[in-house]
């Protein structure tokens, strides 16, 4: 892949949003299904705040939001969208049941349905049906998908996208209920849960626990790269200046890449040669974003 080619990354992001939405219940013929644990609010952000979803999917996503509003956390949406109120407004309109589009004159086919909570990647849906779409279900989702690793309150809060104080109070209440364990790692108070016990409770095979992915961090990093690539295609800069721009980009998104498990080049003084490892980084990000084809997934 060359730094002037953004088509592949855009295609992978488009495949990713379709795969995750169809896993959640949007009707579509894509053979792709996500196997990692889906973060609904991160997916909504990618769909409505970044130009990677086609109009048909955006329309179907609005229907899904209107149908499944009880499974969406408005608090998390506001935290993830931040100051981008323009992109958030159509989401809120859909959740209110009045998406900003004309009503059809005739009855049209459904575009979305309720998510299947028994699909492992829809673990968030299963926990929200059990505990509602609040801080408690997000804390449990993070701890159970971290596969037994002890995490401190700050790490859980960063993943759950709720205030640390609220997360800490929730963790302590779960400890008092004896469904989450606490311990000390040096001077850090860490929390974990018994996966087997929780899997028995929510009727999930231990081997079926979906893998954790910090989707919002990966989506922020991947769309930042996409925007840079597409701007680079329109630029007439020298290779040296392009390499300098790529190096600045990687420096800015490195924490999100690291959190997503994507190893990036060290933004050192490589001059034009930096474009070579940068191309490899773009390919790794694209491969991380898109799911593998699930041959057992049912065609909708």
pLDDT in tens, the chain (300 residues): 454 479 999 999 999 999 999 999 999 877 788 999 999 999 999 999 999 999 999 999 999 999 999 999 999 999 999 999 999 999 999 999 855 555 554 444 578 999 999 999 999 999 999 999 999 999 999 999 987 678 999 999 999 999 999 999 999 999 999 999 999 988 999 999 999 999 999 999 999 999 999 999 999 999 999 999 999 888 888 888 999 999 999 999 999 999 999 987 766 667 888 898 999 999 999 999 998 655 444 443
What predicted TM-score, i.e. pTM, was given to this entire model? 0.90
The CATH code of domain 120-208 reads: 1.10.10.10
Q: Where are the domains of the chain?
A: 7-116, 120-208, 216-289
Alpha-carbon distance of 17 to 13, in angstroms, equals: 6
């954790």: which residue's tokens?
212
Q: How buried is 255 (Cβ within 10 angstroms: 0-12 exposed, 13-18 middle, 19+ buried)?
A: exposed
Strands laid side by side in the 151-152 sheet: 151-152, 188-192, 181-185
Q: Give the phi and the psi of residue 258 in degrees, each rounded to 5.
A: -60, -45
């Amino acid at each position: 892949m060359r730094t002037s080619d953004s088509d592949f990354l855009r295609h992978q992001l488009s495949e990713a949003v379709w795969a995750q939405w169809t896993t959640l219940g949007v009707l579509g013929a894509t053979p792709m299904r996500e196997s990692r644990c889906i973060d609904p609010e991160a997916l909504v952000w990618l769909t409505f705040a970044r130009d990677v979803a086609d109009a048909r999917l955006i329309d179907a996503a609005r229907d899904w939001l209107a149908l499944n509003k009880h499974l969406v956390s408005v608090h998390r949406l506001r935290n993830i969208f931040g100051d981008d109120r323009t992109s958030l407004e159509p989401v809120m309109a859909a959740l209110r049941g009045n998406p900003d589009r004309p009503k059809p004159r005739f009855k049209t086919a459904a575009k979305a349905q309720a998510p299947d909570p028994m699909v492992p990647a829809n673990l968030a849906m299963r926990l929200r049906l059990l505990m509602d779409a609040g801080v408690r279900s997000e804390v449990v989702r993070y701890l159970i998908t971290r596969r037994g690793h002890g995490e401190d309150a700050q790490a859980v809060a960063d993943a759950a996208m709720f205030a640390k104080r609220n997360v800490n109070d929730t963790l302590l209440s779960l400890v008092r209920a004896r469904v989450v364990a606490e311990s000390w790692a040096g001077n850090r108070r860490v929390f974990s849960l018994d996966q087997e016990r929780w899997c028995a409770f929510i009727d999930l095979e231990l081997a079926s626990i979906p893998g954790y992915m910090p989707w919002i961090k990966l989506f922020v990093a991947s769309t930042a790269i996409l925007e840079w690539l597409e701007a680079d295609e329109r630029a007439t800069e020298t290779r040296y200046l392009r390499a300098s721009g790529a190096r600045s980009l990687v420096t800015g998104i490195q924490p999100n890449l690291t959190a997503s498990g994507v190893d990036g080049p060290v933004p050192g003084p490589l001059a034009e040669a930096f474009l070579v490892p940068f191309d490899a980084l773009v390919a790794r990000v694209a491969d991380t974003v898109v799911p593998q084809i699930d041959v057992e997934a049912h065609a909708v």
